[in-house]
Amino acid sequence: MAMLESVLIANRGEIACRIIRTARELGMRTIAVHSEADADALFVQMADEAHLIGPPPARESYLQIDRIIEVARRTGAASIHPGYGFLSERAEFAEACAKNGIVFVGPPASAIKAMGLKDAAKALVQQAGVPVVPGYHGSKQDPDFLRQKAYEIGYPVLIKAVAGGGGKGMRRVEKAADFDAALESAQREAQNFFGDPRVLVEKYILSPRHIEIQVFADSHGNVVHLFERDCSLQRRHQKVIEEAPAPGMTPEMRQAMGSAAVEAARAVGYVGAGTVEFIADGREGLRADRFYFMEMNTRLQVEHPVTEAITGLDLVELQFRAASGEVLPFTQGDLSIDGHAVEARLYAEDPEKEFLPSTGKLWALEFPEGEGIRIDTGVEAGAEVTPYYDPMIAKVIAHGATRDEALDRLAAALGETIVAGPKTNAAFLKKLCEAEGFRAGRFDTGFIDRNLESLGVGPQPVDEIAVSFGASALISREIERLRMAELQKSDEPSSPWSAPDGFQLLGIRSVGVPLLVDGERVDAREVFSRTHPGASTVAFGESDPWAEDVVDREVDAPHGVYIIRNGRQTLVQPYDPFDVDLEHMDEGGAVKAPMHGKLIAVFVQPGDKVEKGQRLAIVEAMKMEHVLVAPSDAEIAEIAAEPGAQVAEGARLIVLKTEE
């Protein structure tokens, strides 16, 4: 059968770039759709043609089925590839494609519907003999009823959105007192992302391992599995590091899980790439009688590169071939595992500030090259990381003959990655790759939460060496500026009093250097050499000003200098005492937006008395909710922003009147 002539990619970022690369190799014409925020994005540049579909918010652009279908019809697109996220698991999108004679590169709408609702999916696979997690999967949604079911199941429990996936609309609840707030938050997030607030309640499995099976099917009834991936390293139910195959997997359990996944796919007449996700009880290692079906993702997964690495297959190419009606070119017996692969998700977020999303211009972006290293990214140096979409900068994938070799390569690659501008989790990921328990295979989905401190999460001491290097760079820049300005003046003889070198008659010559380090005011000292006239360095904190230290990279920007050292970024700026925000000087009691985003809820009003730790508001950014709490006992003096408003980082939201 003939390969599809063209494809419209109904997605953005790294997955759009990934699809375009394979489509090009197959000789297909590529069509991109984009929001106003993505007009200059890498995937737009890569595509053969690109079309604007709306403003930055996804609800007004990438989630607009009618606009995307209209572009596909106008451009004569033979097919639409949905990528992952956005419309990839919306049955109505697949139906709209079929109605307009456009091939949907994914499963039939009937399969999406069957697996799209977790409660119905669990009932379906149970009939096929697949074990499911104990819990309430019914339709009744009354809060009192669900709270009672949680009590009957026994805490801890998981509240999970019936529709969608990716950790959205999911909350772990440890005790009954927290259930109502968690339910409300999960339902609101489910409504925002999937248009469906319904949830189910399940028993939380102790020592859980999150293991998924990649399945693939053609339209001729052939279904195989491409082995498993372990996605247990998670934070807030979001995958952080994925690997294939799963550590500790036995042939018996692989056979049992693989067969269960294939049967689940057969039960819904699946076509294309899909993932069947299981939760395994890892208290006594992986056992074939202790795993349970969670859900099926009817799309390509973010972590598909690790499966490609160990099988040698291109899953996107297989998707296009299946969508073209071709028969699978292999059987289950033809497939085997080659080595080990690990993937890390490099995010624009700050682990030192509870992983708050970080936005802004990428002043530098460099990735290593080497044996077994693959980089999937949708951005380049000079691009903007906006608050509108997922904060992923890249996926860093390493493949090796053994698990240790793959992890060593991944850790080294993360250490060589350079990102200047938004903060990233690069250093955190590197420490995770090197963590003793993870390397030894002793981990579950709670591993990160149990080891936050050793992984460098939370406030860290200032990197004194980075500050010294940054300050030296700023001083050199200022001296050069003064020198150039001096050359433009008259030829008057120079004087030691006019030289910017801290000249003094007695003692070690030095001069104070006021700085901003990641926005905080600090003081350094420029120290001049007694033995080498004109030579100087910067002393800060306890660091030796003359030590021969090194940094990974120094990146100059108009507003300061970024120093990258050990995967950690430090922004050093000159302090200007006259650059003061007079309007907000007396806002010691203000609760401000921690990042650019949308204020989606405010729980208090002026005059309310609140206690320390009480919920005040919720800001949504980069597909995540961030709860703002009262820093102390106080009275609400003012609500400075309306729910629904887009707010900038640092914007006043709520003003507190501290109780005396």
For 463, counting Cβ atoms within 10 Å of its Cβ (0-12 exposed, 13-18 middle, 19+ buried), the class is buried
In a domain, 41, yes or no: yes
Catalytic residue (choose from 172, 299, 321, 374) = 299
Coil vs helix vs strand at 345: strand
Residue 451 · residue 437 · CB < 8 Å: yes
| Last residue in a domain, options 338, 368, 395 | 338
In a domain, 459, yes or no: no
In a domain, 638, yes or no: yes
Characterise 198 by phi-psi region: left (phi > 0), alpha (psi -120 to 50), beta (else). Answer: beta
* Residues 316 and 233 both lie in one domain: yes
* Residues 176 and 153 both lie in one domain: yes
Q: Which domain holds residue 473?
A: 464-490+498-574
* Residues 286 and 358 both lie in one domain: no
Beta carbons within 10 angstroms of residue 622's beta carbon: 23
pLDDT for the residue numbered 624: 66
Nearest CA to 51 out of 66, 42, 38, 65 is that of 38
Could you confirm whether 299 is annotated as catalytic?
Answer: yes
| Last residue in a domain, options 450, 481, 511 | 450
Characterise 380 by phi-psi region: left (phi > 0), alpha (psi -120 to 50), beta (else). Answer: beta
Nearest CA to 104 out of 87, 79, 85 is that of 79
Please identify which residue in the block is written with the tokens 């669900």: 146
Label each residue of 395-406 as H, E or C. EEEEEECCHHHH
For 375, counting Cβ atoms within 10 Å of its Cβ (0-12 exposed, 13-18 middle, 19+ buried), the class is middle
Please identify which residue in the block is written with the tokens 């759709």: 33
**Strands 597-602 vs 646-647: parallel, antiparallel or unpaired:** antiparallel
Label each residue of 415-483 as H, E or C. HHCEEECCCCCHHHHHHHHHCHHHHCCCCCCCHHHHCCCCCCCCCCCCCHHHHHHHHHHHHHHHHHHHH
Which residues in the chain come in under a pLDDT of 70? 1, 164-166, 482, 485-486, 488-510, 529-535, 545-546, 577-588, 622-624, 658-660
Residues 6+ apart with CB under 8 A from 586: none
pLDDT for the residue numbered 506: 43
Q: H or E stretch including 524?
A: strand 520-528
* Residues 333 and 359 both lie in one domain: no
Q: How many domains does the chain have?
A: 6
The structure's pTM equals: 0.82
* Residues 445 and 360 both lie in one domain: yes
- DSSP-assigned states of every residue in 78-111: SEEE--SSTTTT-HHHHHHHHHTT-EESS--HHH
| CATH label of the domain that carries residue 99 | 3.40.50.20
* Residues 216 and 331 both lie in one domain: yes
Beta carbons within 10 angstroms of residue 641's beta carbon: 17
CA–CA separation, 499 and 503 (whole Å)? 7
In a domain, 118, yes or no: no
CA–CA separation, 210 and 243 (whole Å)? 11
pLDDT for the residue numbered 490: 55
| CATH label of the domain that carries residue 313 | 3.30.470.20
CA–CA separation, 318 and 54 (whole Å)? 31
pLDDT for the residue numbered 331: 97
In a domain, 125, yes or no: no
* Residues 99 and 184 both lie in one domain: no
CA–CA separation, 460 and 447 (whole Å)? 20
* Residues 261 and 318 both lie in one domain: yes
Residues 6+ apart with CB under 8 A from 600: 188, 192, 618, 619, 620, 625, 643, 644
pLDDT for the residue numbered 659: 56
* Residues 227 and 178 both lie in one domain: no
CA–CA separation, 19 and 8 (whole Å)? 10
* Residues 410 and 508 both lie in one domain: no
Alpha-carbon dihedral of residues 99, 103, 107, 112, nearest 10 degrees?
Answer: -30
* Residues 330 and 221 both lie in one domain: yes
In a domain, 244, yes or no: yes
| CATH label of the domain that carries residue 604 | 2.40.50.100
Please identify which residue in the block is written with the tokens 């926005």: 519
| Cα within 13 Å of Cα(545), Cβ side | 17
| Cα within 13 Å of Cα(265), Cβ side | 32
pLDDT for the residue numbered 589: 75
CA–CA separation, 522 and 11 (whole Å)? 44
In a domain, 526, yes or no: yes
* Residues 531 and 517 both lie in one domain: yes
Cis previous bond, 131, omega within 30: no
Report pLDDT digits (tens) over 362-408.
999 999 999 999 999 999 999 999 888 888 999 999 999 999 999 99
For 299, counting Cβ atoms within 10 Å of its Cβ (0-12 exposed, 13-18 middle, 19+ buried), the class is buried
In a domain, 517, yes or no: yes
| Last residue in a domain, options 288, 315, 338 | 338
